[in-house]
Chains A and B, each alone.
Chain A
Amino acid sequence: MLWQVLRMAAGGLAANKVRSALTMLGVLIGVAAVILLLAVGNGSSQAVKDSITSLGTNSLTVSSSGGGFGARSSGASTTKQLTLKDAKALATSEDAPDIKSVAPVVSSSGTAVYQGTEYTVNSIIGTYPAYFETTNSRVAKGDYFSNDDVLNARKVAVIGSTTAQELFGTVDPVDKTVVIGGTPFTVRGVLAEKGSTGVNDADDVVIAPLPTVQNAFTGFGSLNQIVVQARSADVTSAAQSEITQVLMGTHGIKDSSSVDFRVSSQESLLSARQSTDKTFTVLLGAVAAISLLVGGIGITNIMLVTVTERTREIGIRKAIGAPKGVILGQFLAESTLLSVLGAGLGVLVGVVGSHFTIVGIKPVIIPESVAGAFGIAVAIGLFFGSYPANRAASLRPIEALRHE
């Protein structure tokens, strides 16, 4: 019996192929949009998560909150900048068992030249070798610079993949000499690709020993950042408070509410980005859901037309004894079949479409969204089909038969 109802419904839909196809298209677009847009939202948050993870989940960044509200409320005349002394205090402190390594960071930017090719490097970082491990930066070619290079302030550098590409093209940059801001640097290694974290290209970078960069660009003043690596991802918050304690000591601050530095973990960055992305995903989903709703209204519309068109047929069926329920079932079956087929194709399009990169984001399908969109589409077919079906079933046989 069910098979027969389905066959009848398929026959009814096949009678108006173009119309059925267009109605299905409405549902298809709705379902595909829900799946794809949610996948794009999810993909973007996944990408952010990945790139932040790639920066090291157990790394903490200490930066000066110079000029911030902390300085003013403390009543101090000046904010103490971070210095190499702070970094050393962190590295040698007995009270900080969760700190694994410390890397002071100065950064600058400048123009690099290699055999006539000029390129403005986004960031030139002067630091210690610990920086590489802490920030999860691995070399793909060549080697890191060593502590020995730092101690001797050698003019060596490890460059990011974007920088290597821009300056050297296909040439292997290892052991070549590149002139940055008038200082010749020997390239020791090239970092593996990290990908972009939003605005900044993490691969557009030159990393050199701290004293070398201070000597060539920033001078031997304050540090921009101190990058600290915790012993594991689980103890980052413990490490965070240890850093605060140590730096309050070196900066001579008694009140923890008036510190003149900021310790941020990648985790806090991550959660901030993720909440932004969640909003983004929800908005995308809402837009898609509206298009699904519009698809559902399309079903109602087309089923109403179908009922009007087939009034006479309904009359005939009633005359030969079709009960109300059968007519209702037939038209409900048709509208549900429309939505099921449309939703099925929509899932297909959504899944296939998510294999392509959309606006630079690799979509990652949320399995629940597939099941959800399909289910909602079918429910919409039932819901929006019930009005026309009920209208068909309630027709009086004599009026239906007289209908031309």
Chain B
Amino acid sequence: MSPRLPVARRLTRQVRPVPAEAAGSPSRTVPVISVRGVRKSYGVGEAAVHALRGPDDPAGGGPLGVSVDVEQGDFVAVMGSSGSGKSTLMNILGCLDVPTSGRYLLDGIDVGHLDEHQLSLVRNRKIGFIFQSFNLVPRTTALAQVELPLAYAGVRAAERRRRAVAALSMVGLGDRLDHRPNELSGGQQQRVAVARALVTSPAMLLADEPTGNLDSRSTDEVLAMVDRLNAAGRTVVLITHEDEVARHAKRVLRLVDGRIVSDVRQGPVAGPPPVFAGAEPVVGAVASGGGR
């Protein structure tokens, strides 16, 4: 995929963050997300804009790309102002976009080598999306909405319905099965989206500013739901620019201009999320290598 791949890998090994709290975590397991030297640039040559660049090569070369690992069961918040590259990172993590260079292993699978059909399978099986703008399919009932990823996965109708009803009941919408998006409030829509994201039991939940369009009560509801999912062992990557939201995460990555400038652990990978544990964020835990 990239000619500089071996170099990138070696460098990222060196700077790989090993937080003290995570030392006891099962490091033998394959990380859910393993990003190695991923760059994303738009345009070519002098006019190229690097949405994701990572640290510059100390030898004076170009950008080395972003490298980051996310362990199974972790809850990572990616923070940054607009234009920091967090959405680009999210799109790459979600297999919606391909990096210009670098390697991305999702659940041990090198996504870069997959064709379009396989990518759609990966999106279907491994990733559950929650978007800022809900992104529900218009004119479709909540039930059909949640059944959709199962339908794409080829699950039989009866089984599909059973699982979709269970997922909707879990998010507290068991009585809204036949409502269409325009008949639901923002909070309810987002809960349908959460149900849709988790109905396939994906390896990771990707949430892009899930509370950006919600009032505070709905925000709390949705975040509580995400907390519960993480407590149940689901890996969560959440993109936000609000500290309030980031407080829920076990680990906070900050992006500035396409570089990870800080990587803070707020709670252990194993165990409940910080809000459940009642633990205050561990201030200034470990500085990330990405921000050198």
Contacts and interface: CB of A to CB of B under 8 A. Distances in A.
Contact of B135 (A4, A15, A396, A401): A401
A323 B121 contact: yes
The prevalent SS among residues of A at the interface is helix
Contacts of A12: 139
Interface stretch (A66-74, A193-201, A312-320): A312-320
Interface string A295-337: 0000000000000000011011111111110100000000000
A319 B123 contact: yes
Interface residues of B, number: 26
A397 interface: yes
Contacts of B124: 320-322
A319 B151 CA distance: 14
A322 B97 contact: no
Interface string B77-91: 000000000000001
B137 A313 contact: yes
Nearest to A312: B135
A320 B96 contact: no
A11 interface: yes
B158 to A, nearest CB: 13
Contact of B152 (A15, A326, A398): A326
Given A4-B151, A398-B97, A401-B96, A319 B135 contact: yes
A32 B292 CA distance: 74
Given A313-B137, A326-B152, A319 B121 contact: no
Contacts of B121: 321, 323
A397 B92 CA distance: 11
B117 interface: yes
A323 B135 contact: no
Nearest to A1: B151
Nearest to A394: B116
B94 interface: yes
A321 B153 contact: yes
A323 B94 contact: no
A316 B149 contact: no
A190 to B, nearest CB: 70
A312 B134 CA distance: 12
Contact of A321 (B125, B136, B138): B125
B138 A320 contact: no
A322 B120 contact: yes
Interface in A25-42: none
Interface in B107-153: 116-117, 120-121, 123-125, 129, 131, 135-140, 148-149, 151-153
Contacts of B131: 319, 401
Interface of A: 1, 4, 11-12, 15, 312-313, 315-324, 326, 396-398, 401
Interface of B: 91, 94, 96-97, 116-117, 120-121, 123-125, 129, 131, 135-140, 148-149, 151-153, 196, 200
8 contacts: A15-B138, A317-B152, A320-B152, A320-B196, A321-B121, A321-B123, A322-B120, A398-B97
Q: Which 5 residue pairs are nearest across A and B when measured between Cβ atoms?
A: A321-B124, A398-B97, A398-B96, A321-B123, A323-B120
Given A317-B137, A324-B117, A397-B97, 15 more contacts: A316-B135, A318-B120, A319-B135, A320-B124, A320-B129, A320-B152, A321-B124, A321-B125, A322-B148, A322-B152, A323-B152, A396-B97, A397-B123, A398-B97, A401-B131
